[in-house]
Structure formats: structure tokens, C-alpha cells
Amino acid sequence: MFPGIDAGVFAGPPAATAVFTTVLTEGPVSRVALARRLGLSSAAVTKAARPLIDLGYLHELAATERSGPGAGRPASPLAVRAEREFFLGVKITADEVIGVVCDLRAQVHASARRPLDAPDVDAVLTEVGRLVEDLFDAFPGDRSLVRRLGLALSGDIDRGIGLVRYSPFLHWRDVPLGRLAARRTGLAVTVENDVKALTAAEHWFGEGVGAESFALVTVGTGIGCGLVVNGRLVSGSYGVAGEIGHLTVDADGPDCHCGGRGCVEAIAGTDAIVTQARDHTGRPDLTIDDAVALAREGHEQVRAVFTRAGTAIGCGIAAVANLVGPTRIVVSGEGLAAYDLFDSHIRTSFERQAFGAAARCPVSIRPLPFEAWARGAAAVSIQSLVVP
């Protein structure tokens, strides 16, 4: 149906990338609106769009508006042909791999899950390979249109070279996951921190579309934060920008796996909550579900654990608001299953610690399943095509 798939068009003039990215995230958009939005001439927009149309990435919709006051010819908006290419996204946890197949607009067309018997590198790669085959089997489209795989996992990730420097929950250090996964699957692989991947998906295809700055905070096994500033996802010089889980909020607090003390994550991460609840109840086998149930039943000491967690998370979110000043902050993560236990404490702590007008920053709660995190991995893979 299309000419040979070739990412080279996106490695060409910056105008082509700018046009495609704008149509992808904000479209359909007319050429006139694109020219105005990007500061280009109409001729430059047409020149940039032509190869993208020829290769099937963009197409013209029926004319809907005039190209200008008194103009006789209506404009034909440009739109992305979402099924031009497909992308795999996989979220890796300590006990499971979750995968999706997405189109160019990050719409999910198939999904699958596989359990992990062990978190060692070879076992994870084996299950990722099997998951890829499961996804291909579940995908109703043309397999030849799937060339890229995004992997997302917690930890310190060097996206540029696909290196997992440190993943605390998998106990990995200096794993060249991108190269190993590419060899195992035969696909072009992008590796990213899972919170940053989820933020990328929200930036291009979710609540962050059109926002020059916003933050995504995740609550669960870890406490993470993805930041978008001036329209760009921030990684920082060392790739760990936004790690609010390792802000110290209690100098006398518990030790953290990062080597610090009193970190948000050491107080409010799922494992930290479970450890504290076990200490208060004397039940070494207590789970997070047990802790939530006890707190909801009114167990004062366990409720106090969630109060402390909410206060710590609120301090972390306030630090983001004070330092970055985002337009909005979205809170997500698997920990939201117990959000009723620390919601008010998060908001009280945030309002107390946020400085001045930063306290007016809207904080929205958005529960997302792990398939959404896998979609984030696919979104990063889409970005790797569009912005090489």
C-alpha cells in the first residue's frame, strides 16, 4: 500500500519534523495554521509536508476552511495516517511484562501480559521475546509495519544508548538492554525510564498536549516524576531529572535503597508502607492489600503510616511546583488504589509547602493501568522515529 518504510524523511530538514510533530500531537491542522504556528512560510510547510504525504505518513482531509480573509480556495487540513506504522511498547516490572501494539497516534490495537519467574536479565529477555510474539499473534494488522519496540522500566536509564545503569526493583546494574533486546527480537529498540515514558505519552497524546510545562507524579512501588519544561521532556545531564522519590523530607527518617535517608520513597513507596505496617502490627507476612484493609477499618497506627506517606508525597509535589512552576500536575500510579487513605494529606502538605502562587497549580488524579505504561514505552518508540 505504501512505498518502502523509511525513517530517513524524519532525519531530513527540521521543518519536516516540526510539521509532522505538530500534526501528530495537535492535528488535523491546515497548512495556514501550521505556517502560523511554526513561523514558516506556506511554501515551506508545503515543501516539508510533500514527502510525508508521498510516504503515507500524512494525508489531506476534505477542505473545511478558507486559507485567509477573502480567499477563494478553502484549506485542506493535514492529518496523520495513524495506521501507517505500528509500534510495540513493553512495561517491565519485577514480576511481569505488559505489552501493547500502538499506531502512530499511540492508540492501542492489541495487548498481552506474561509473568516473570525471575528478574534476572536473561529471564526477562526471554519473556520479552515471547511477549513480542504474543503481541504479533494478537495484532490484526500487517506485521511488516511493526519495526520498533519501546521498553520501559524503573530506574536510572541512559535512553541514548539503551543502558540500564541501575534498576532497584530488578537489581540490575549497567545492563545494555537496548542492544540485547534488539538482538533477541530483531526490532529497533528504545529503552526509557518508565515514568518518563508515561510522561512522554501524556505530553504527546494525553493531558500534556499543548502545555508548555507540566509534571506527572507516580505513586506506587517507587515515587517518580516526569517533567516537561518549555515543551520538552527533561532528562537532565545525568538522565535522572525529576527523581522526587529521592528528595529528603525527613532527615531522621528511614534509610533508602538509594543510600540516602528520609527520602519520599523510603516513607511513601509501597514497600516502605508495608514495612512500617508490619512493624506496627507484628505481622511479618502482611501485604499492601492487608495494610490498606486495616487502615480503612480504622487501625490507628496503620492509618498513621498512610498519613505520613501522604505528607511526604505532598512535600515532593510541592517541590516540583516551586522549582518548575508547571501548568498542571497529574498524579498516577498503582498506589492510587489506596488514594483515599492519603489524598487529604497529600493536598494539605502540598498547599502548606507550595510557595505563593504555586499553590494554585491544579493537581489532578488519573489512575492508569500498566497497559498505559506500556503505551508510554510505545510513545517513546514513536518519538524515536519522529525525532531521531
Taking only the tens place, the pLDDT of each residue in 261-277 is 999 999 999 999 999 99
What per-residue confidence (pLDDT) applies to 67?
Answer: 47
Residue 2 in any domain: the answer is: no
What per-residue confidence (pLDDT) applies to 207?
Answer: 83
Residue 1 in any domain: the answer is: no
* pTM for this entry: 0.86
The answer to whether residue 96 scores a pLDDT higher than 90 is yes
The rounded distance, in Å, linking the Cα atoms of 3 and 158 is: 33
Same domain, 281 and 303: yes
Per-chain mean pLDDT for the chain? 89
Q: Dig out the grid coordinates for 76 from the structure.
A: 485542506
Q: Nearest Cα to 157, choosing from 109, 230, 224, 110?
A: 224
- For 212-245, give one letter per residue: b (16+ CB within 10 A) or e: ebbbbbbbbbbbbbbbbbeeebbbeeebbbbbbb
Q: Nearest Cα to 363, choosing from 382, 343, 378?
A: 343
Least confident of 69-83, 145-159, 232-246: 69-83
The rounded distance, in Å, linking the Cα atoms of 52 and 5 is: 11
What per-residue confidence (pLDDT) applies to 11?
Answer: 63
Number of folded domains that form the chain: 3
Picking from 68, 83, 98, the residue at the C-terminal end of a domain is 83
Task: Write the CATH number for 67.
Answer: 1.10.10.10
The answer to whether residue 70 scores a pLDDT higher than 70 is no
The rounded percent of the chain whose pLDDT value lies above 90 is 66
Same domain, 235 and 339: yes
- Helix, strand and coil content of the chain, in percent to the nearest 5, comes to 45, 20, 30
Is the Cα dihedral 270, 273, 279, 280 positive or negative?
Answer: negative
Same domain, 228 and 305: yes
pLDDT band at 288; cut points 50, 70, 90: very high
Q: Nearest Cα to 203, choosing from 214, 191, 192?
A: 214
Same domain, 250 and 346: yes
Predicted confidence (pLDDT) per residue in 196-247, tens digit: 999 999 989 988 887 888 999 999 888 989 999 988 888 777 767 778 899 9
